[in-house]
Amino acid sequence: MPGDSSLPEKRPDGKRFDGGSPHPELRASHADRDRVVDVLRVGAGDGRLTAVELDERVEAALAARTLSELTALTADLPPVSASGGAVLGEVKDVLRIDQRFSPVERAGRWAVPRRLELATEFCEVTLDFTQAVITQDTLRIDMEMHGKNLTLITAPGIVVDADALNLAFSKVRIHHPPNPDTPVTLRVELTGKKTFGRVVVRRPRRSPGQWLLRKPRHL
C-alpha cells in the first residue's frame, strides 16, 4: 500500500523503492545474524573493535531486520578468511588433544574451539591466545594432565578461572591478575585434574627492543 510505513525506503543497492517494486529489501535470518556476530567477535579479537564497539554492534546485529543493516555493521572489517588464514568454518565445538611425551603448542592465528579436552602425559603444553581467532566469550578446558606445565599466554581482556581445577602436587601461577577496569573478551575456565607440574598464566615475553623502550621506573 502507498502509505504502508513497514516497507523499507531503499533496496540493498541504495536505490529507493518506487512504490510498485516487487522486490522489497531482503530480511535477515537468525543464521545471517549469527554469522555477523562471529565476524564482529573476530574483529574484536584482532583489536579492530573496542569492547564498547563490540557490545554496541552485537546488540545492533541481534536486533537487525534486514541484510543491509547487517552489512553496515561489518563494512569496515575485513572478511574473516582474509584476516589471517583462519575461517569460521574451522572453529570446532570440541577439540581433543590426546598426547604423550611430546610438546603441544597452539600459537599464531589458530581457531579457538568452544571446548578443549586436554589429555596429556609429560607434555609441555602452550596455548597462545594473543593472535588466536576467538568467536565466543567463553572457552572451557577440561584437563586430565599429568606432569610438565600448561602455559596460557594471554592479552588484556582474557581472564583465566582455575577455581574448578583439581590440583595434585601442582600449582597455578597467574603473573598478571585481571584488571577490573578492562572489559572481559574471553573467559577461560579450567576444569578437571592437573597432577604434578604447574599452570602458568602470563603475557607475551618482551622482545629486546621492547625492553630497551620500556619506561624507566621513578625512584
Estimate the crossing angle of helix 51-63 against helix 30-45, to 10 degrees. 170
pLDDT value for 144: 97
Hey, what's the cell of 164? 574448578
DSSP strand E in 38-180: where? 94-100, 104-106, 115-121, 125-128, 138-146, 150-153, 158-161, 165-168, 171-174
pTM over 0.75: no
**pLDDT tens across 163-215, in order?**
999 999 999 999 888 788 888 889 999 999 999 999 999 998 765 554 455 55
Q: Which amino acid is at 219?
A: L
Instruction: Provide the pLDDT for residue 211.
Output: 43
Per-residue model confidence as pLDDT tens digits over 79-122: 654 344 444 445 788 999 999 998 999 988 788 988 999 999 99
Among 18-32, 41-55, 115-129, where is mean pLDDT lowest?
18-32
Residues 6+ apart with CB under 8 A from 21: 11
pLDDT at 90: 57
108 and 133 in contact (C-beta within 8 Å)? no
C-alpha cell at 114: 568452544
The 3-state DSSP class for residue 208 equals: helix
Q: Is 210 left (phi over 0), alpha (psi -120 to 50) or beta?
A: alpha
Q: Which three cell numbers stand for residue 62?
A: 541481534
Residue-wise pLDDT for 137-151, tens only, equals 899 999 999 999 999
Q: Which of 74, 93, 81, 86 is nearest to 132 (CA)?
A: 86
Three-state secondary-structure class, residue 86: coil
pLDDT of residue 110: 85
Q: What is the mean pLDDT of residues 46-63?
A: 86
Q: Who's near 170: CB < 8 A, 6+ residues apart?
A: 194, 195, 196, 197, 198, 199
Alpha-carbon span 172 to 188, nearest angstrom: 14
Per-residue confidence (pLDDT) for residue 206, from 0 to 100 = 63
